[in-house]
């Protein structure tokens, strides 16, 4: 029996902003049920890689595949962009993104925020979506905040609402872009617990994080990026316990003393 195609596969990806090359030929795999964490210093290309995977950013060369299906491109180099809008929508709805800033709509209640995309993008039945949305709010521990406005919630509660919103799309994978870095340490732990619970359920996740303990606890694979290239990758016990390169040793030493 052949094993299923990876949920996300990236091959030799290049991304530039004008003359600045941010990704310099990156390969990445996230298989069904795997948590892959991306670590590295600011400017290493982690968030850009995540946004390219979700087709929020156009890349200039390389391949992106979702469950074995390659993204269709038009144009070349700086003019390259996805060529099939329906494919883009289908892939994006299956790769739910949770951002550093919570990006909740301030004019909607928490419940409305969580329900909005399944209703408008997927055209699902309202009663079914509301039931699911309330279940996901309960899952992240804020069922009692369904009728509150975003401004009435703490940062940790807002981020948990953003995770519930991502889950309500019932995606194939969750993409987290520094989900705890805008939070103070106490609120950060609320969100870390939710991410750990999701990892324990066997959800496929790509996680960009500055939190080495979180990466060590939840990851199947950890990828260390430096200046747009993958320098090391492997299981967390290998990467954190026995780093092979001077660059990774220096990075880990800096994060421990910070």
Containing 203, the helix (H) or strand (E) segment is: none
Every domain of the chain and the residues it spans: 8-257
**Alpha-carbon dihedral angle through residues 256, 207, 192, 132, given to the nearest 10 degrees:** 180
Per-residue pLDDT 10s for the chain (258 aa) are 667 899 999 999 999 999 999 999 999 999 999 999 999 999 999 999 999 999 999 999 999 999 999 999 999 999 999 999 999 999 999 999 999 888 899 999 999 999 999 999 999 999 999 999 999 999 999 999 999 999 999 999 999 999 999 999 999 999 999 999 888 888 899 999 999 999 999 999 999 999 999 999 999 999 999 999 999 999 999 999 999 999 999 999 998 765
Q: Are 165 and 113 in contact, with CB atoms under 8 Å apart?
A: yes
Given the candidates 3.40.50.10240, 3.40.50.300, 3.40.50.1820, 3.40.30.120, the CATH classification of the domain at 8-257 is 3.40.50.300
Rounded to an integer, what distance in angstroms lies between the CA atom of residue 116 and that of residue 169?
Answer: 10
Rounded to an integer, what distance in angstroms lies between the CA atom of residue 13 and that of residue 215?
Answer: 23
Query: Which tokens hold the place of 28?
Result: 């990445």
């Amino acid at each position: 029996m052949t094993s299923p195609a990876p949920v996300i596969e990236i091959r030799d990806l290049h991304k530039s902003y004008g003359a600045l090359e941010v990704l310099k030929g990156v390969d990445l795999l996230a298989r069904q049920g795997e948590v892959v964490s991306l670590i590295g210093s600011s400017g290493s290309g982690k968030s850009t890689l995540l946004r390219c995977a979700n087709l929020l950013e156009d890349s200039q060369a390389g391949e992106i595949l979702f469950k074995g299906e390659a993204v269709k491109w038009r144009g070349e180099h700086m003019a390259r962009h996805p060529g099939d809008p329906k494919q883009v929508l289908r892939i994006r709805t299956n790769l739910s993104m949770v951002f550093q800033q919570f990006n909740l709509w301030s004019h909607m209640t928490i419940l409305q925020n969580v329900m909005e995309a399944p209703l408008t993008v997927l055209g699902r039945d309202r009663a079914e979506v509301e039931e699911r949305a309330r279940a996901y709010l309960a899952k992240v521990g804020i069922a009692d905040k369904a009728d509150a406005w975003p401004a009435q919630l703490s940062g940790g509660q807002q981020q948990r609402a953003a995770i519930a919103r991502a889950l309500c799309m019932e995606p194939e994978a969750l993409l987290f872009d520094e989900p705890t870095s805008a939070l103070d340490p106490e609120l950060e732990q609320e969100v870390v617990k939710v991410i750990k619970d999701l990892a324990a359920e066997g959800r496929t996740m790509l996680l960009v994080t500055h939190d080495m303990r979180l990466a060590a606890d939840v990851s199947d694979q950890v990828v260390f990026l430096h200046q747009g290239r993958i320098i090391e990758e492997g299981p967390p016990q290998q990467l954190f316990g026995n780093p092979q390169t001077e660059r990774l040793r220096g990075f880990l030493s800096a994060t421990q003393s910070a």
